[in-house]
Amino acid sequence: MARIVMKFGGTSMAGIERIRNVASRVKREREAGNEVLVVVSAMAGETDRLVQLCREASALSDPKEYDVVVASGEQVTAGLLAMTLQGMGLKARSFMGWQLVRSVGAHGNSRIEAIERELLDEALHGGTVAVIPGFQGVSEDGRVTTLGRGGSDTSAVGIAAGVGADRCDIYTDVDGVYTTDPRIVPRARKLDFITFEEMLELAGVGAKVLQTRSVGLAMRENLPLRVLSAFEDLPGTEVVAELGADMERNTIAGIATDRNEAKITLTRLADRAGVVGAVLGPLAEAGIAIDMIVQAASREGAESDITFTVPTASLHQAMAVIETRKADIGYDEMLFDPNVAKVSIVGVGIRSNPALAATMFKALAEARINLIAVSASEIKVSALMTEDQMETAVRVLHTAFGLDSRPDEKAAGAAA
Ligand code: ADP
Ligand code: ASP
Ligand code: MG
């Protein structure tokens, strides 16, 4: 007997028919003798709808009330699944986030601090399936919180760690982690294994199949984590600490894209020490994270331009902050462009094989893709380009790294 957490995403929970499918998968695990906790997302599209309602209600919506509204989608699916399980003859009950998930940090993007496990242990010992709404928590002062978009993955991993589960299975609308988003590149290939470190980087640079925080948490807890199809019985992807000898590959693990960056350029800054700090300091104070930065000095060395990226949602705020500091920073013009995208390659092999980064730049140059900025970490290289070049870049890189599936292999298994 094992104790397992099964997490089902929005597409898997969209409508009663699909909830029945989820319930039968849960039933199978119960019948195999396992203790089961199920973490559910809101129905696909529901959280977007709720976010939109908040925007319509008030341009400056109170983050505490925003959480009250957007957390509600998961309450509905948790209740519906518990009922459906009961209808199939299983013992099941729902819990709400405020009963279980203590969180800290800003509303709308809280972090899990602790899981109250007593109620869950009691239910599991009595043979009851515990159905838990993902995405929700409770703050120190007793208010409902949410864990950031895509946060049900983190709820699942946090709860699995909190109740000492043997594994956490993330069921979604693709049958595993692919070499890139199979909705962009149909010839993407499913990975049987990926390391925590690679998955963390891939998620961090835009692969939304798992929320980044959920991967970091599973890695710290050394929790066995799998990504599986909610619709087909397929082996999925296992996230592992290290690739064993039989899992080794001589290329990258995958490619991720991010359209969610906007570019700001400040021209003709004095080329003096501390000028980058003068620009970035005020942004950091305003809580705006900067991603890529390039500084290009003029030939005379007296002036330079700085280009950097911020999340698209923070573009206007970032520009307003810089505008108020114009006199301290001393730039000529501020230019901006929200239509940029970041394409990143990720793989543990990048650490030891510089040829992999070289392959990336050669392939992009041959496809005449202009790079606006480049950044690299130990196992990742990212390139910023105009948004209209992004899909071509991903396809070209996918082929250049030998990742395309063969025509006889099954096409990416996207069920919805
Ligand atoms: P859920 O609602 O189940 O949480 P998400 O939409 O958050 O599902 O995540 C699954 C989606 O992630 C897939 O439908 C796919 O389009 C996207 N995706 C992006 N990159 C990858 C990747 N490398 N492998 C698999 N899916 C990916
Ligand atoms: N429903 C939330 C969202 O759409 C959380 C999740 O699905 O993981 O962001
Ligand atoms: Mg998700």
Q: What angle do CA 70, 47, 156 make, to 5 degrees?
A: 85
Q: Give pLDDT, residue 408.
A: 65
Q: Above 50 in pLDDT, residue 415?
A: no
Q: Looking at ligand 2, which residue's alpha carbon is closest to its atom 6?
A: 150
Q: Looking at ligand 1, which residue's alpha carbon is closest to its atom 27?
A: 181
Q: Could you tell me the distance, in angstroms and rounded to a whole number, from the CA of residue 78 to the centre of ligand 3?
A: 16
3-173 and 245-416: identical CATH topology: no
Distances 318 to 217, 307, 334, 339 between C-alpha atoms, Å: 30, 13, 11, 16
Q: Could you tell me the distance, in angstroms and rounded to a whole number, from the CA of residue 10 to the centre of ligand 2?
A: 7
**Residue partners of 251: CB distance under 8 A and separation at least 6:** 347, 349, 356, 401, 402, 403
Q: Above 50 in pLDDT, residue 413?
A: no
Q: What is the CATH number of domain 245-416?
A: 3.30.2130.10
For 92, phi then psi, to 5°, come to -150, 150
Domain 3-173 has CATH 3.40.1160.10: yes
Q: Count other C-beta atoms under 10 Å from residue 111's C-beta.
A: 17
Work out the average pLDDT over 150-157. 98
Task: Give residue 64's pLDDT band: very low, low, confident or very high (50, 70, 90).
Answer: very high
Q: Give pLDDT, residue 252.
A: 96
Distance CA 20, CA 288 (A): 43
Lay out the sheet containing 167-172: strands in order across: 92-94, 129-133, 35-40, 3-8, 167-172, 225-229, 237-240, 193-195
Q: Please give the mean pLDDT across all residues of the chain.
A: 94
Ligand (nearest to CA of 208): 1
Q: In the chain, helix, strand, coil percent, each to 5?
A: 40, 25, 35
Pocket test for ligand 1, best of 48, 194, 201, 208 (most atoms within 8 A of CB): 208
Binding residue numbers for substrate: 47, 74
Higher-pLDDT residue of 372 and 270 is 372
Work out the average pLDDT over 215-220. 97
Regarding the beta carbon of 183 and ligand 1, being less than 6 Å apart is answered yes
Work out the average pLDDT over 100-110. 96
Regarding the beta carbon of 43 and ligand 1, being less than 6 Å apart is answered no
Distance CA 353, CA 240 (A): 21
As to burial, measured by CB atoms within 10 angstroms (0-12 exposed, 13-18 middle, 19+ buried), residue 64 is middle
Regarding the beta carbon of 10 and ligand 2, being less than 6 Å apart is answered yes
Helix, coil or strand: residue 17: helix
Regarding the beta carbon of 73 and ligand 2, being less than 6 Å apart is answered yes
Q: Give pLDDT, residue 245.
A: 82
Higher-pLDDT residue of 242 and 300 is 242
Work out the average pLDDT over 240-256. 89
Regarding the beta carbon of 150 and ligand 1, being less than 6 Å apart is answered yes
Work out the average pLDDT over 287-302. 84
Q: Above 80 in pLDDT, residue 9?
A: yes
For 353, phi then psi, to 5°, come to -130, 95
Q: Give pLDDT, residue 249.
A: 82
Regarding the beta carbon of 254 and ligand 2, being less than 6 Å apart is answered no
Task: Give residue 71's pLDDT band: very low, low, confident or very high (50, 70, 90).
Answer: very high
Can you spell out the DSSP letters for 121-156?
A: HHHHHTTPEEEEETTEEE-TTS-EEE--TTTHHHHH
pTM higher than the cut 0.85: yes
Kindly give the number of the ligand 1 atom that is closest to the alpha carbon of 9. 3
Kindly list the domain boundaries of the chain, sorted by start residue: 3-173, 245-416
Regarding the beta carbon of 253 and ligand 1, being less than 6 Å apart is answered no
Q: Could you tell me the distance, in angstroms and rounded to a whole number, from the CA of residue 174 to the centre of ligand 1?
A: 7
Binding residue numbers for ATP: 7-10, 172-173, 178, 183, 208-209
> Is residue 131 within 8 Å of 38, Cβ to Cβ?
yes
Bridge partners (DSSP) listed for residue 4: 36, 167
Q: Give pLDDT, residue 410.
A: 56
Kindly give the number of the ligand 2 atom that is closest to the alpha carbon of 211. 8
Work out the average pLDDT over 196-205. 97
Work out the average pLDDT over 341-349. 97
Regarding the beta carbon of 149 and ligand 2, being less than 6 Å apart is answered yes
Q: Could you tell me the distance, in angstroms and rounded to a whole number, from the CA of residue 21 to the centre of ligand 1?
A: 19
> Is residue 404 within 8 Å of 394, Cβ to Cβ?
no
